[in-house]
Structure 1
Amino acid sequence: MCPPRYFAVDYAINPWMDPDTPVDRERALAQWAGLRDTYRRLGHTVEEIEPQPGLPDMVFAANSGLVLGGRVLGARFRAPQRGPEAEHYRRWFTGHGYHDITMPSRINEAEGDFAWTGRLLLAGTGFRTEPEAHAEAQEVFGVPVLSLRLVDPRFYHLDTALFVLSEATGDSPGEIAYYPPAFSPGSQRVLARLFPDAVIATDADAECFGLNGVSDNRHVVLPAEAAALAGRLADRGYEPVPVELSELRKGGGGPKCCTLEIRK
């Protein structure tokens, strides 16, 4: 995770960003700290990277890399404003003992558009990550990759429209939650076939970034406003953990955007 010390909305690179809307940085820092402390309370280790001036979106650490089995695929951002973040995160990985690092040749916004199910890497495209980056990820990790097309610009990253609730085990493909209208008709059919028991989000759930959640297979950290989704998750046996991230949402991010999951 990266503290939002320099968080601001000085430009608009997604539909949620409005430079004319004031940002309360102190409130953003407090909300971010609440998310970090929630992870620690749930028993997870949180590593922090030092934020850099001039990079207000560096707080959205999920876009900085994908880590599976200790192997790292770095990021290559579409928006030039975020481009320098990739090198800062690469240096962090190098300095923390990660030696198998590949920096992508194609535009690849990392966990923003990649979701690991434990058996299959779901990969989004349509607005940010290039389709060719999906093949690049398959070569790096040697795991099957399933391409999914996003069609609603409000849900420009896969992690705004889908997240993994529990990873695959035995005959189970794992469980996901997602918002079907964010995907092309063909991608909707694929998801319905692979995950027939998925939790389906409402319009209201999606619009408050409810699908930008983080699950450890039991606890599900998600925005406090996603009350309907939280209820459905509780009915499935998960423990919803609501957090308040309204200030960071002004930059187009929620819990998952602020969280890079390191799978060693």
Structure 2
Amino acid sequence: MNIAFSPCPNDTFVFHAWVHGLIEGAPNLNVTYADIDITNKLAAEGKGPEVLKISYGALPWVLSEYALVPCGGALGRGCGPLVLTKEKTNDPTAIAGRRVAVPSERSTAYLLFRLWAAQNVPGGVGEIVVMPFHEIMPAVRDGKIDAGLVIHEARFTYPSYDLNLMTDLGSWWEEDTNLPIPLGAIIAHRSLDKNEIAKWARASVEYAWANPRISSDYVMEHAQELSPEVAKSHIDLYVNEFTANLGEDGYAAVEALLGRAAKEGLVPEFDFAALR
């Protein structure tokens, strides 16, 4: 079976056991490691593997071909995207009409940013520039961009770039909805049995939790030069109860995010029943 997910520590931690043939009855995996912007595009173009990790923000575009798997993804609290600036300010009006770098326009981070900006930035921001997430903080630091929307381990490392935290979009979302943040979704082609995929993914998650040291070499091999301490913080933050089982709170969070985004015209309208 072909699968694509990012080389980030949470994904490699979750799928280590399945990738290495440690889950009884699960098919062998042929893995493509790719940034989430790439997997979003692969799914939208119908050229992706049978199973992919994509952003929840990209889900409405692919639901006709792919089903949401209620296991293996990333939702949580205290793990939202950040808006960073070089200027030391937390006044959102400072980025009105300014250039903002984002890692993708089909991402939860982008949807949260646009929903937040609609409430807090008079007249809206200016140009949106899409760039790989690892290039965003240097671009803000060097004055090439006015603000940056960052994800993943950037929440731990941005102080080393001498950048300012304007707002934590996760905190904003949680205060506004009292729901977790839907970040990364596991999807499976509708020709497959998504319950089987969920069973194997859940077994891989549970194996990782029971044997955290066994996956460490694999995690660090793909950790994009992160320190072991940052990689562990990344896993602790993004691999949680929602990774094992989306549950009713998880589904409610997905419906809230995508429902609001659809009303703002940020994603296509879709039938919520397709999420189940």
TM-score (structure 1 length as normaliser)? 0.28
Instruction: Find the structure with the greater CA-based Rg.
Output: 2
Question: When you count helix as a share of all residues, which structure comes out higher?
Answer: 2
TM-score (structure 2 length as normaliser)? 0.27
